[in-house]
Amino acid sequence: MTQNPTPEKIISWIQAEIDIRRHNAGMNGSWSDGGASELEKQLDVYASAIQGLVPQAWQGIVDCYIAEADPEYQEYLRLQEKFKGRIPT
């Protein structure tokens, strides 16, 4: 019976594949990295999901939604709109 590999083992295999792709692309004089960056982004999403974290590429989007849900931010937007175009004297 074959057991499923652990998430840590999967991550190490994918990281090894990323390194191989970069190395091969460099040795071949390729203009690209052989798909290593795309695989690295996917690995970040996978690793983040396992740890219950937000992937780095998504952090900016999540931060915007968190800020929009903040009552103080809503008050800031309301005041900004109220005083829009007024110059203090």
What is the spatial distance between Cα 36 and Cα 52, in angstroms, rounded to a whole number?
24
This prediction has a pTM of 0.67
Other C-beta atoms lying within 10 Å of the C-beta of residue 70: 11
* Same-domain check for residues 39 and 60: no
Same domain for 38 and 65, yes or no, is no
Does residue 49 share a domain with residue 37? Answer: yes
Helices 71-82 and 59-69 cross at an angle (nearest 10°) of: 70
pLDDT digits (tens, 9 = 90+) for 10-66: 999 999 999 999 999 999 999 999 999 999 999 999 999 999 999 988 999 999 999
Q: Residue 1: what pLDDT?
A: 55
Looking at the structure, do residues 30 and 16 belong to the same domain, yes or no?
yes
**What pLDDT shows up at residue 83?**
87
Task: Tell whether 89 and 69 lie within a shared domain.
Answer: yes
* One domain for residues 33 and 49: yes
- Domain residues for the domain of 70 are 56-89
